[in-house]
Amino acid sequence: MNTLFLIFMTGLIHLVPAPVKTTLKEGVFTLNNSLKVYVAPQAKKTAADAAVYFFETIGPSMGINAVYTNTQPSGNVLIFELKDATEVPAEGYFLEVSPTCIIISASNGAGFFYGVQTLLQLLPPYVYEPVYHPDQDDPSLSCAVPCILIEDYPRFSHRGMMMDVSRQFYSVTYVKQYIDWMAKHKLNRFHWHLSDDNGWRLEIKKYPLLTEKGAWRGPGEVLATSYGHPGERYGGFYTQQEIKDIVTYAAKRHIEIIPEIDLPGHGKAATGSYPEILCNTSGEAELSIQGVSHNVWCATREENYKMLEDIIREMVSLFPSKYFHVGGDEVVTSQWSACSLCRDFMHSHNMSEPIELQSYFMGRMQKILKKFGKTMIGWDEVMEGGELDRKDVIIHAWQRVDKIKEATSKGYRVIAQPAAYCYLDMKQTIHERGLMWAAIIDLEKVYSLDPIKTPGLTPEEARLVMGVQGGLWAEMLDKPARIAEYQTYPRLCALAEVAWSPQENRVWEDFNKRLSQTHFERLYYMGINFRIPYPDAAYVNGYICARTDYPWMVIRYTCDGSEPDGRSPLYTGPISTDNPEKYLFASFYGNRIRSIVREVDLPYDRYQRPVTRVTGNVAIHPQTPYTVLEDNDFNTYLRVVKPLEEGQYILYTFESPVTAGRISVLTGLPGVDIDPADYAHVEYSADGLDFVPSGSEWKDGRCVFAPKGPVKAVKLCFDKGNMFLTSYIQDLRIDK
C-alpha cells in the first residue's frame, strides 16, 4: 500500500492539537474485529478508563468491541503500558503503531486518555459518529492505521473552556456533550460559570430561594426577562445529584470542573432571591456595566460571609477540584459607599476607597475557601484595592493581555483568558452574530495567542502562567439553534493547540490545513454544528461572481427570498442578472453544514436615502437625539433609557413620498442587535395622516415589510411587555 496515499486517507499528519514529536514509519496496522486488548498488570488502574473510552467510541461506528486478554498476544493487539513519571510527563503519552501492535504508554490516566484521543485521530473521521459505517469505499483501507511513533505531552497544565450557564441555561445532556467535545481536544478544565445577574444555576439546599427564584428570568420574576425570550419564564438549574453526575462524567474524560459563583458583583440572582444580602442603601443605585442594579453583596454584613461559607460547604461536597472561582469582576463599588454599614467599616479600618472593600471581601472568601482546602481563583480585578495571599490566589486575566504581566509580576499564578483572543461570544466576522466590544475574533486571531509572549514577561513570570482558556458568555447565544457550538468550533480547536502544542510546532497555515482537510470531517461526525466561512459574492458588469477560498466547500444560492439549503442550485460560474439584490448565497460543507447566508455585495448603494424627519415620545439618551435617525448612516442609533411603553412611538416622515419594494424597521444595537424592542408593530401612511398596518409581523426586534404604493411616513409603535431599561433604534433601510 502506498504510504503517502495512506497518510492522506487517514489524516495522519492532521492531528489537532499538533503533538510534540511524530515519526512516520513503514507499514500499517490493520484494525479489525479480531483486535485484542492487553492492559499490562501495572497499568490496570490507570489505563482501564481510557481503554473503555476507546471501545465506546469505535464500537458503534466500526463494529469492533473490546476483547481483553490477560496474556500478551504476539499480534493484532492494542497494548496499554505503564511508564514511570520520569519517562513520560504527566498527561503525556507515547503512541507506537507497528504492523503487529499498537502500544500506548503513559504514566497516568490522563496520558492514556490522550493517547487514545490521538489514536482515534489516526482512524477514519467517521469513528466519532455512533452509527455503523460498513459502506466506506474501501473498508480495509479505512481501518488501516499507519505505523508511527508519537511522543506527546501538553505545553500548559491548565487547558480550559468556560461556559456561562447563567445567561442561557444548558441541559445536563448538552453540558456533558460540550465536555466530551472538549476532552476530544485534550482540554482538561471546564470552568462552569454557575451564577451571575441572570440566573443562579446550582441547587443549594440551605438556601432554596437561590434556585426557586434566582434560576428564573421573565415577567414578574426577580430577574429581568431573558434576552431573546420576551414574555417567557426562562431558566433552570442543576440539582446536586445532576452536578455530581456531570462531575463524574467529566472526570472520566480527565476534565476537572472548576465551579464559579460570581461575587460580590454580578450577584442579582442571589440578591434578588435574598435581598437582605444587599447594602442598606436607598434611592437610585448605579447600574452595572450590563445595566443591572442592586447586584452587589454587602461587603461588611457578617451574615453574608456565614451564608457564603454555607454555600461553599455544599459546593465542596460536589466539586472535588482544588480550585474554586469566586468572580470578583465588574463590581459596582458605589453601593458600598452608600451603605452605612460599609462606610462605618471603612472608617474603622482606615480605608479611604470602596475598592479596598473589594480586596477585603476577596480576602474573606480566600480564607473561607482555604478552610475547605480550596484555592481561590478570581477575575483580574481582585488585584485592585489591596494585596491578597499570592500563594493561595490565582488570577484569571481577562481584561487585557497586560493583566498577565501585572499579575505574574506581583507573584500570582495566572490563567490567561484575554478577552480579545479568548471570548468566543465575540463575532467571528463583522457579518456574523455576536458581540464585538473586545474584538472581532476570527480563527487566526485565536490561534495567534501565545500567553508567554506577553510583552515584558520574564522567564520567571512566564512560569506562573498555568495555561489558557476560552470563555463562552451566553447572553447572545439564544439563537439561532446551536449557536453555542457555532461560536465554539472551530475556534476551540485553535485554542486547544495554543494550550497543548509546543509553540515551535505551531504554524497557522499548517493548522488551517489540518483543520480543513481532516479535522472538520471529525467535527462533522462528532455532531458539532461548527462554523464554516461564508462565500463572497460580488456584482460586476451585470454578473454575480461568487467565490470561496476553500476547495472543500460548495456554494449554493437562491433568488426567491428563501435561504439556500442542500437542494438549492450549485453555483458553478458567474450569473447574469439585472437583479442581484434578489440573490442569497451560502457555502456548504458537504450538504450538511451551512455557512451564514449572505447577500451580494453591490458596487452601488442598495438603499435609498431620502430626506427624513424623525420624531417620537420615548425616553432618549441626551447624546442620541432623534436626528441620529435622520442621517441615513446605518451605524448611528437612538438609545432609549427607560423600558419602552405601550403607546410610545418613533415616526419617520419623508420629505417626499418614497416608492420601495421593501422597508426594514430595525431595533437593537447596529451590527450586534443586542437590546432590541421585543414588542412593537409597524404602520405606514401614504399621506402622513392615515396609517395602515405594515402587514408584516414584528420578529427578533425588526419588521421588514413591502408597502403597497408610495410611503410618506413609517411609524414604529411600541406595544406592552418591553422590560429592558436600554434599547436601541436604528435608521430605516429602504431598498431601491
Q: Where does this chain bind ligand ACM (CB under 6 A)?
A: 329-330, 379, 398
Of 12 and 382, which has the nearer Cβ to ligand ACM?
382
Spatial neighbors of 218 by CB under 8 A, at least 6 apart, are 225, 226, 229, 231, 232, 233, 234, 235
Binding site for Zn ion (CB under 5 A): 279, 298, 339, 341-342
Supply the minimum distance, in Å, between the C-beta of residue 289 and ligand ACM.
8
Which of Zn ion, ligand ACM, none interacts with 379 (beta carbon under 5 to 8 A by kind)?
ligand ACM
Residue 604 Cβ vs ligand ACM, minimum distance, rounded to whole Å: 41
> What residues are paired with 375 via a beta bridge?
323
Say which entry of Zn ion, ligand ACM, none residue 279 contacts (CB below 5 to 8 A, set by partner kind).
Answer: Zn ion
Residue number, nearest CB to ligand ACM: 329
Q: Where are the alpha helices (DSSP H) in 63-108?
A: none
The nearest distance, CB 209 to ligand ACM, in angstroms, is 25
Q: Which does 50 bind (CB under 5 to 8 A by kind): Zn ion, ligand ACM, none?
A: none
Q: Which residues is 570 bridged to in the sheet? A: 556
Smallest gap from Cβ 299 to Zn ion, in A, equals: 6
Q: Considering beta carbons, is residue 336 or 684 the nearer one to Zn ion?
A: 336
User: Residue 223 binds which entry of ligand ACM, Zn ion, none, with Cβ cut-offs from 5 to 8 Å by kind?
Assistant: none
Question: Which pairing describes strands 77-82 and 21-30: parallel, antiparallel, or unpaired?
Answer: unpaired
**How many angstroms separate the CA atoms of 404 and 421, rounded?**
13
Pick the closer one to ligand ACM by CB: 323 or 379: 379
Cβ-contact 54, 68 below 8 angstroms: no
Q: Smallest Cα–Cα separation from 47: which of 100, 104, 118?
A: 104
d(CA 91, CA 511): 22
Question: In the complex with ligand ACM, which residue's Cβ is closer, 281 or 359?
Answer: 359
Nearer to Zn ion, 342 or 477 (CB): 342
**C-beta separation of 639 from 726 below 8 A:** yes
Closest CA to 63 of 35, 41, 82, 86: 35
Separation between Cα atoms, residue 506 and residue 236, nearest integer Å: 41
* CB 196, min distance to Zn ion, A: 20
* Binds 607: which of Zn ion, ligand ACM, none (CB < 5-8 Å by kind): none
Residue with smaller CB distance to ligand ACM, 189 or 301: 189
Cα separation of the two ends of the chain: 61
16 binds, among Zn ion, ligand ACM, none (CB under 5 to 8 A by kind): none
Give me the least distance between CB of 246 and ligand ACM, in Å please.
Answer: 22
Buried b (16+ CB within 10 A) or exposed e, 153-186: bbbbebbbbbbbbbbbbbebeebbbbbbbbbbbb
Report the nearest approach of ligand ACM to the CB of residue 323 (Å): 16
Instruction: Answer with the entry of Zn ion, ligand ACM, none that 651 interacts with (C-beta below 5 to 8 A by kind).
Output: none
- Gap between the Cα atoms of 76 and 102, Å rounded: 8
> Measured from the CB atom, is 168 or 730 closer to ligand ACM?
168
341 binds, among ligand ACM, Zn ion, none (CB under 5 to 8 A by kind): Zn ion
Q: Which of Zn ion, ligand ACM, none sits in contact with 202, Cβ below 5 to 8 A by type?
A: none
For residues 34 and 54, what is the distance between their CA atoms, to the nearest angstrom? 15
Q: In what order do the strands lie in the sheet with 649-658?
A: 612-616, 649-658, 711-718, 680-685, 691-693
CB of 344 to Zn ion, least distance (A): 9
Q: Which does 660 bind (CB under 5 to 8 A by kind): Zn ion, ligand ACM, none?
A: none
Nearer Cβ to Zn ion (304/722): 304
Nearer to Zn ion, 326 or 472 (CB): 326
CA distances from residue 695 to 71, 114, 686 in whole angstroms, order as listed: 76, 57, 15
User: Rounded to the nearest whole angstrom, what is the least distance from the CB of residue 277 to Zn ion in the complex?
Assistant: 10
In the complex, the smallest distance separating the C-beta of residue 587 from ligand ACM, rounded to whole angstroms, is 32
How distant, in Å, are the alpha carbons of 56, 414, 514 from that of 194? 30, 21, 35
Residue with cell 502500544: 103
**Closest CB to ligand ACM among residues 94, 324:** 324
